[in-house]
Amino acid sequence: MRKTKIDLGRKAAGRYLLALLSGGMLALSFPEPGISALAWIAFVPLFLAAAGASPAAGFRLGFTAGCAAYAGILYWLNIVMTTYGKLPAAASAALYLALAGYLALYPGVVIWLARRCESKRIGLLISFPLFWVAGELIRSYLLTGFPWANLGYSQYRTLPLIQISDLTGVYGVSFLVAFANVVFYRIWVSMRHRERYPATALLLLLLLIAATMGYGVIALSRPEKGPLQQVLMVQGNIRQEHKWDPAFQASTVATYERLTRKGVESPGTLVVWPESALPFFLQSEPAYAARVKALAADLKSYLLTGSPAYDKEGGELRYLNSAFLISPGGAVTGRSDKLHLVPFGEYVPLSSLLPFVNKLVQGIGDFSPGKAAVPLDTANGKIGVLVCFEGIFPEVSRAYVRSGATMLVNITNDAWFGRSSAPYQHLSMTVFRAVENRVPLVRAANTGISSVIDGKGHIRGMTQIFEEATLSAQVRMGTGGTFYSRYGDIFALLCLAASIALGAESFKKKTFRVKRHL
């Protein structure tokens, strides 16, 4: 009896080690180090661990893998919370682990449902990719949404593969990678246990990859048609502890002036300064406003700069995280307000019920969201401004493109992340916003990474982090009008609908049979 218990314990421990291996491989597939090939096999150890397990055990194994993955991907949250949020290390660790645990619920539920389906002879090849994409879609909206590190983002450098994003969004790439994991798992099982080789499944995978890559090659070969626009990204590298200190306002403005004058080579350039490059209200600082307007006029160029803003409504002030566009004539011609705010960073959810909770980052006060996606007009077309982590939300970019934007501009301050993987993870997601909508995306970051991405996803230039820098490039404005721009997440919604049907079927007593080799 004792030996039996020991054997069972060892078997259970082995299952959890396999789940942890899956989580570790998944984490390593994202930047940095960004070993993207691992994403194609990351779930194989988890499938091996869950084979023959009950649905409840499958949930625990999926949850374990998710905890390992998201703890590895999001380790940089501790830098934000301890260095800038001034939280004690213990409190930071608790919140970090709580978020990793929340995100781990998704793979836990996916494996739980997949095991239920397998018990009803519904194969993993059908259930897992559908459930995974459905989970990503739900995570993108639930509790304000946190679509960080969707599976497809791991492939951001494989350009032929990700061109289908103009049809399916990032979810199409996630589906393909999830599907491949099941096929490789079936191949492994067939070789280890001398079961029937999954020839049909492998053929289907090869056809999907061939079709995806073929579409990608054709998309990459199409010429771009929009007008050319000279752009200049200005990376001031202002230290976070100095950013909101009034004593450093003059030196901050002087830094951006100096870098801009040095970087602009011709009139008509679109100069982009980062989020909150001006750490004061441009609306109520006439001396600084005059300097910035004069700079644009001297250089005969458009200047887009981040600055907090305010509006008066019903006798009350609303604070906004905004970007102001200054014309070559030196006039403010437009303002774009951030639509999707960071909970606990820019506002406190349920603040009336949680008066003891302070924001984790410094700023002006609780921000309010903007009211609409309003592109800003330039001589060569309209630009849609994505402030900070708005770049990870496909629906925000779509809203700007549908409103006429032919270029997306991401202004951000990634100084919060320190020297970590987060700036690289952030950049990887913005590549998909360009491909989805077939418009260029340029990003100016206070401490980096500033970059220029064309409408096919090529990263045409990028800066190093924590350095003063400028990045000049010529980009071709997009034409928009992609299937994804017009119709959005149709593919993911179909996966969600199919997942609901499969989930409902898995709870029925009556079963139906799917061929085992699938």
Using CA atoms, how far apart are residues 70 and 101, in angstroms rounded to an integer?
8
Cβ contacts of 48 within 8 Å, gap of 6 or more: 18, 185, 188, 189
| Identified catalytic residue from 120, 243, 293, 338 | 338
Using CA atoms, how far apart are residues 228 and 80, in angstroms rounded to an integer?
38
Residue 165, SS3 per DSSP = helix
Using CA atoms, how far apart are residues 488 and 168, in angstroms rounded to an integer?
8
Q: How far, in Å, are 49, 204, 512, 517 from residue 201 at the CA level?
A: 21, 5, 19, 7
Active site residue 359: no
Active site residue 338: yes
With tokens 């679109």, the residue in question is 270
| Phi, psi angles (nearest 5°) of residue 272 | -120, 120
Residue 494 class from Cβ within 10 Å (0-12 exposed, 13-18 middle, 19+ buried)?
A: middle
Active site residue 495: no
Q: Among the residues of 120-158, which ranges form H helices?
A: 124-139
Residue type, 250: A
| Identified catalytic residue from 118, 136, 275, 346 | 275
DSSP secondary structure of 300-313: TSEEEEEEEEEEEE
324: its two tokens: 């102001």
Residue 318 class from Cβ within 10 Å (0-12 exposed, 13-18 middle, 19+ buried)?
A: middle
| Identified catalytic residue from 359, 388, 390, 495 | 388
Nearest CA to 397 out of 186, 140, 203 is that of 140
Cβ–Cβ under 8 Å, residues 439 and 407 = yes
With tokens 């307000």, the residue in question is 337
| Phi, psi angles (nearest 5°) of residue 377 | -85, 130
Residue 338, SS3 per DSSP = coil
| Phi, psi angles (nearest 5°) of residue 163 | -65, -20
348: its two tokens: 């406190």
Residue type, 279: P
Residue type, 348: V
Cβ–Cβ under 8 Å, residues 152 and 177 = yes
Residue type, 357: V
Residue type, 468: E
Cβ–Cβ under 8 Å, residues 78 and 66 = no
Q: Among the residues of 403-489, which ranges form H helices?
A: 422-437, 483-487
Q: Please count the helices (runs of H) and the strands (runs of E) in the chain.
A: 17, 12
Active site residues: 275, 338, 388
